[in-house]
Amino acid sequence: MSQSGRPWDEGGPDRLYTVNRGRAPVEPRPVELVSLIVARAEPEPGMAPEAAAVLRMCRFPLSVAEISAYLALPVSTVGLLLAELLEDGRVEARAPVPAAVLPDPELLQAVMHGLQNL
């Protein structure tokens, strides 16, 4: 409990302000919600706990949305954290894997008619 007798709110604005160190959101965003983040360095002593957690969890590619969910932080806060890690070269942002290109609908219809004629 906090000193005021109310339970501590993990996601309160005070915590977010502390995690961001008072910085404002970066415009434009350095990474998209579906960008894959990969760690390029190990956590160091004295790092912010959230930054160290990102480096530990991103040994394998994770999207920004997944990182946000695992840390229980808003995407805007995670974006600021990642911007700092990107600037320091501690993480790398990769474009998301593109969705497979769907075949032409006419080709699908021709295959369907060919199968029906069998």
Cα within 13 Å of Cα(112), Cβ side: 6
Tell me, what's the pLDDT at 22? 52
How distant, in Å, are the alpha carbons of 53, 60, 70 from that of 21?
Answer: 17, 27, 20
* pLDDT of the chain, 118 residues: tens digit per residue: 445 555 544 455 445 545 555 555 555 556 888 899 999 999 999 888 889 999 999 999 999 999 999 988 888 888 888 988 998 899 999 887 676 667 788 888 999 999 999 8
The tokens describing 30, both together, are 């350095």
Tell me, what's the pLDDT at 2? 45
Sequence letter at residue 49: P
